[in-house]
Chain A
Amino acid sequence: MMDFQYGYLLNLIVYLPLAGALVMMAFINKENSTALKTWATLVAGIDFVISVPLWFLYKPDGAEFQFATIKEWIPSVGVQYIFGVDGFAVLLILLTTLLGFIAVYCSFTAITERQKEYYVFLLLLQTGMLGVFCSLDFILFYVFWEVMLVPMYFLIGVWGGPRRLYAAIKFFLYTLVGSVLMLVGILTLYWFNANGLAAIGLEGLGNEPTFSVVHLFTIAGQIPPEVQFWVFLAFFVGFAIKVPMFPFHTWLPDAHVEAPTAGSVILAAVLLKMGTYGFIRFSLPLLPHATIKAVGWVALLSIIAIVYGALVAMAQKDMKKLVAYSSVSHMGFVMLGMFALNDAGLRGSILQMLNHGVSTGALFLLVGIVYERRHNRMIAEYGGLAKVMPLYATFFMIITMSSIGLPTLNGFIGEFTILIGVYNHSWVWALFAASGIVLGAAYMLWMYQRVFFGELSNEKNKDLPDLNRREQWTLIPLVVIAFWIGLYPKPFFERMAPTVDRVLERVAVAMPEQAPTAAEQVAEIAHAPAGEETGERGE
């Protein structure tokens, strides 16, 4: 189940940014802007470089968790220090280190005040996020989960826009509420595995007390349904806020709008994935029974998120808010694919997490670039930019197409795989969810038209400089990845496949007689409503 080869690698990747931040705090003068930037870029860059070997060294047919480390931490209560990753986590770690580097690199001119603190927080955030994806002990996971909150809070609260305090506090409190509930869920699992908790009438299995996720996987089948239900609910709140799922999403637009560009990029690209990561890593495999019971509700919320997010995005006047709501819609696809609980749906879901990270991360970078020039994000302030900033317009177009799922770009592969899985589960879901692709095209192209096309009427935009070299280099890697996933997603699918198989196996524990029923259901779906489904669309 665990492979300890190259165990130092994960520790190195996780703690390098922390070490870098400490060195920065101790040795670099806060006035020396160049040194601060160079050092932060170097640390983030090296962190990315040393995370690349994970891509090559991870063996899809090897142990479930690789590059593992196990150390005693607080033996008296069974807390261990466990690191280890599967293919799914490897992909997210690479996403994090790459976007972390880009976040540092894109901040050079955007951040002019308190630079030292800024880069220190950015690096600390990096350690927190990476730790989350590596931890296989619930307490360790929880620690990183909370650690991650603090730097983000400061990034928004100190370097943010005019309503930064409101947004930062909202972000902090909202996610904190979720994580406290999650902690209750974690403790319940812990007690159940150990000696139970008489106060709430929970009987335990009497095992050695441990927070090890790897161990808890093995007892998942023994957790009684009502315990699963409550734990699932507790986890659900924690993760759903992070995703964010409708109706827990309103912190997101505020946080995005107020955060500095790098903050938005990290928030969209990585932080939102924490929620979906949590579902796939913990909720589904640990609580299969509750998962199956929850399918209908989660699907409903996801479909609402897809359609509602897209429609609300359409009404936005602020570019960042528009992109924020489009995130709600896209993350709806991720959740829906996941809860289709089949191979294609889950694969698509994981791929779409990466796609969303790449495309939406790039969109926030792009909005940030024009914001830096004009200090304005209102769509109405622009128009005709394609004339003065042709290169910028080209990048924006490519990323727009990636976001609305044009084939040969990444978004299509994700949406297609999700939807084919979703259709397989329920054609009704697919019917509604697929409408997201129409609405997605509508709001993105409408924004594009208003920003880039038409006459260059606003005097202030007449002399906007096109992308400089640094700005191009923040975008090029993301565009390359967008095409890579769009044209040859195989390496990504290969790496996530073992995770998907294991999760589905663990969920299947709770549905022993599911196989024939599923087939029947499917047969009923495809035959019975044929006329109804198509009747009105004849003309």
Chain B
Amino acid sequence: MKLYDLIWLIPILPLLGAIFNGLVSNRLGLSKTITHTVALLGSGSAWLLGWGAIVQWILDLGIHHTHIVSLYSWIQGGSLRILDGSTADVNIAASFQLDAVSALMVSFVTFVGFLIHVYSVGYMHDESDRAYARYFSYLNLFMFSMLVLVLGSNLVVLFVGWEGVGLCSYLLIGFYFEKDWCAAAGKKAFIVNRIGDWGFLLAIFATFMVFGTLEFSEFFPMAAGHPEHYATAATVIGLLLFVGAIGKSAQIPLYVWLPDAMAGPTPVSALIHAATMVTAGVYMVVRCNVIYRISPTAMLVVAIVGGLTAIVAATIGLVQNDIKKVLAYSTVSQLGYMFLGAGAGAFVAAIFHVLTHAFFKACLFLGSGSVIHACGGEQDIRQMGGLKKYMPTTYWTFLVATLAIAGIPIFAGFFSKDEILAKVFEGGAADLNHFGSAYYALWVLAVVGAIMTAFYMFRLVFMTFHGEFRGGEEAEHHLHESPWTMTMPLVVLGVLSIFGGLVGIPGKLFHHPEWNLIERFLEPILLPIGHAAEAGHDVSHHAVSLGLEWGLVFLSVAVASFGIWMAYRFYMGAEAMVRPKRLAERFPLAYKLLLNKYYVDEVYDATVVGGTVKGSRFLWEVDARVVDGAVNGTALSTVGSSFLSGIFDLRVVDGAVNLIATIYDVGSRWFRKLQVGFAQGYAMVMVFGAAILLAVFYLFKLN
């Protein structure tokens, strides 16, 4: 038995941990040591097994082999007639697959996940035993769901993980459920995600309708083999899938849940709302790259939404004062870059950025957690400053990660972000899918966004770690470096934020394309399209000369440096904070607009949310008054008419009966008088009667 035959066990191991902590630790209130040992065993064994399986798979089968392990037949929905007139069985398997992209995802999800479990041991230590068990149970459950998501071999299993991570996100955002806003944020996350899931589900149905299967290994080759035939279908499926991605990966217009999601404990923000779950949308788009590559429209939409999100979120990030909010908007923005890359056909670059982003953003969030921990729960950077000397490890790792996200060479983010920018530019130069000018415009947006990224991230560093501490003396006494369980993950992630990008050196620039390991590794998932196999992802290969490519590299370095320089001028030295204040006073409207996040939440509350709630109340009135009113009206009219008919019955029907009775009564009283008891009287009456009868008889006969 090879380890790669056990890939189904990778998600199951943390699930066992979740079940134990949820049912046993939490119920019995077992000690923290037992709880986190189980949780670490769960996620740690998944990590080891995951890496082991991947290594064996590479060595034994090679990266071109998609290894599928099918557990059992899960849903048997019978047969349906599909688009081409044939019938197909709705037979969904509980099945997992190991290929290049899932291997990459598994490798960093298990690893970063494990690190964050370790970090949580320190961070959550003040919770009660039961809350601690609950926390780790949810965290392990998240690992299960995320691993199901990335390992699923068909759209439905992917969807299981997709919803599972949504549930865990809901539970963990609302972890401090006694606080109303935490509970509300959790609910918001779930419902907004559900809007995306609506699109995802429809995409699944459409896929089945078109291809008659939901297995990746079956319908991708079909689509790639006949791109013209499936082009329209791919547009529908691609766009519907992207609706799902918009929800899960917090893109315009469904990004609003992610900043609120920061209500959860900080390690959760790092793991779920930065490194792993929110990148699921990118993963899914890359996974389904065949669908997007045969549909120029879908690809362009992905690029536009990504590009717009990247810049809009970046502008909001410029002025936020909550350390986690800044990071949250930065995450939204970076996810936008990933989609922009994917939308420009740079699927490898998108996943590459997912990887490096996981390192530096997890590092940033954990760093911010360390800061918040030290500041006694304070999250406002205006109450911080000068933390560098109190918490050096946190500072240096935070700085390294900031350099990485800003895009300074050597650091991890530089390679992946530069790759995306270059690919978008090439999309413009090569007139990709005849949308060249759109890609040029998006490139300009992305470059401006890069300046902002460098600016707001260094603003964060300067305001938090440099200058003087502004939180008051009381708080200053408590400042301390975090325990090793928290700093160790920081250091590991910091190191990866420096060197992690080396897996994707743009070797092309040095005439050594083979240096780009990640591109070579992921090459198998980019199925050649059509018969010509003209490698659509490489369409731009010759559109941009080597010199220009180098120029772009220098440009992006210059751009990042410019942003940092601006932040330095604004937030460092004697003039610190004065300039931004002046700027805010000069453009009060713009400042307020950004500070209030363009009032998007308010607009949504007033329209969609308020409309739904009002609509529901209105319908409830309708239901009570009209629909039920009709029923009660019928009842009432039945009762009313029965009352009337009761009167009729009493007066007319019964009246007639009584009338006859009365007639008899009166008549009989009258006739009674004849009954006098004398035979002569009777005889006389008889004679008279007979005489009358004879007379009548006679008269009638005459006539």
**Residues of chain A having any CB pair with chain B under 8 Å:** 170, 173-174, 246-247, 249-251, 308, 311-316, 342-344, 346-348, 384, 386-387, 390-391, 401, 406-408, 412-413, 416-417, 419-421, 423-424, 427, 430-431, 434-435, 437-439, 441-442, 445-446, 448-449, 452-456, 487-490, 493-494, 497, 500, 515, 518-519, 522-523, 526-527, 530-531, 533-534, 537-539
Contact = CB atoms under 8 A, between A and B. Distances in A.
Contact of B78 (A170, A423, A497): A497
Given A430-B205, A526-B209, A445 B187 contact: yes
B65 interface: no
Contacts of A533: 236
A526 B183 contact: no
A417 B233 contact: no
Contacts of A494: 76
Interface string B528-551: 000000000000000000000000
Nearest to A441: B194
B178 A316 contact: no
Interface in B217-274: 232-233, 235-236, 239-240, 243, 252-253
Given A437-B197, A441-B190, A530 B202 contact: no
Contacts of B304: 538-539
Given A408-B160, A488-B74, A500-B78, A449 B187 contact: yes
B631 A522 contact: no
By CB atoms of chain B within 10 A, which of A347, A417, A445 has the most? A445
Interface stretch (B430-438, B515-523, B614-622): B614-622
Interface stretch (B79-87, B455-463, B679-687): B79-87
A437 B201 CA distance: 10
A530 B240 CA distance: 11
Contact of A453 (B178, B209, B243, B617): B178
A387 B178 contact: yes
A537 B233 contact: no
A408 B183 contact: no
Nearest to B205: A423
Contact of A413 (B75, B198, B253): B75
A454 B183 contact: yes
B72 interface: yes
B369 interface: no
A242 B80 CA distance: 30
Interface in B181-215: 182-184, 186-187, 190-191, 194-195, 197-199, 201-202, 204-206, 208-210
A86 B570 CA distance: 78
A285 B253 CA distance: 47
A424 B232 contact: no
A169 to B, nearest CB: 9
Contact of A421 (B77, B163, B635): B77
Contacts of B90: 343-344, 417, 420
A170 B638 CA distance: 13
B177 interface: yes
A82 to B, nearest CB: 28
By CB atoms of chain A within 10 A, which of B78, B163, B239 has the most? B78
B518 to A, nearest CB: 30
Contacts of A416: 75, 77, 156, 201
A314 B209 contact: no
A344 B82 CA distance: 12
A250 B631 contact: yes
Contacts of B130: 390
Contacts of A446: 187
A305 to B, nearest CB: 11
Contact of B191 (A391, A420, A421, A445): A445
Interface string B448-485: 00000000000000000000000000000000000000
B167 interface: yes
Contacts of A312: 616, 619-620, 623
B631 A308 contact: no
B613 interface: yes
Interface string B628-664: 1011000100000000000000000000000000000
Interface in B596-635: 612-613, 615-617, 619-620, 623, 627-628, 630-631, 635
Given A314-B616, A343-B77, A449-B187, A170 B631 contact: yes
B180 interface: yes
Given A417-B75, A526-B233, A537-B199, 6 more contacts: A308-B619, A311-B615, A315-B620, A344-B80, A437-B194, A454-B180
A401 B166 CA distance: 12
20 contacts: A251-B631, A342-B80, A344-B78, A344-B80, A347-B77, A386-B177, A406-B164, A407-B160, A424-B80, A427-B202, A434-B201, A449-B186, A453-B178, A454-B178, A454-B183, A522-B209, A526-B83, A526-B209, A537-B239, A539-B308
B77 A417 contact: yes
B585 to A, nearest CB: 34
A526 B627 contact: no
